[in-house]
Amino acid sequence: MSSEPILHTLKSITPDTADAAQKEVLAQALKAAGFLPNMYTNMVNAPAVLSTYLHGYGLFRSESGLKPAEQEVVFLAVSQVNGCTYCTAAHSMIADKKSGVPADVLKAIRAVQPIPDARLAALYALTAEMVKTQGRPSPATVQSFLDAGFQEKDMLYIVLAIAVKTLSNYSNHAFATPVDAVFAAYRVD
């Protein structure tokens, strides 16, 4: 699998180089994140991509009912399975500094080792399997997820998270997006 970017002529867009539609979406992104991550300045080449990402991301965060640490486990699972080192670094930082993912859980996820929390392990396993199987997890994996205290509707929010992260993961693959300084301590190879 090549790690070379597939887009060779598109450049990052800044508020200074943006057209009207791009400026509008970048303003929304800046308001939501507090800064413009490299990922956003690439995605906004197609304003609908960044707009869709921001909308879905916000809805997953606000409506899923999953706790912030659980949300981060979902995002990390998707990003790892999709091989997105940018999003793995970003969500590792968020997991550590903002979302309250226990240090031993984050360490295990990043090292692809067994997760020492049964509930988070079941969540990670279901999410990863859904990505790997295009949304067809095994009955045993679903049952483990339900046995861990999740509900069937939570699977639909995981589908939303997979869709959102796939937008960002694939965009980052296309651009070989460099990891922002704020996420650099969490860089993965």
Q: What mean pLDDT is reported for the chain?
A: 95
- The CA radius of gyration of the chain, in Å to the nearest whole number, is 16
Yes or no: say if 88 and 183 are a contact pair by the CB < 8 Å rule: no
Q: Which two tokens stand for residue 75?
A: 């995002």
Chain segment 14-47, per-residue pLDDT in tens: 999 999 999 999 999 999 999 999 999 999 999 9
CA separation for the pair 42, 49 (Å, rounded): 10
Chain segment 149-181, per-residue pLDDT in tens: 999 999 999 999 999 999 999 999 999 999 999
On the question of pLDDT at 1 being above 80, the answer is no
Q: Burial letters for 143-171: b for 16+ Cβ neighbours within 10 Å, e otherwise?
A: ebbeebebeeebbebbebbbebbbbbbeb
Chain segment 77-136, per-residue pLDDT in tens: 999 999 999 999 999 999 999 999 999 999 999 999 999 999 999 999 999 999 999 999
**What does the angle CA 142 – CA 148 – CA 150 come to, to the nearest 5 degrees?**
70
Domains (range + CATH), the chain: 66-186 (1.20.1290.10)
CA 102 vs CA 46, 117, 120: distances in Å? 36, 9, 10
On the question of pLDDT at 3 being above 70, the answer is no
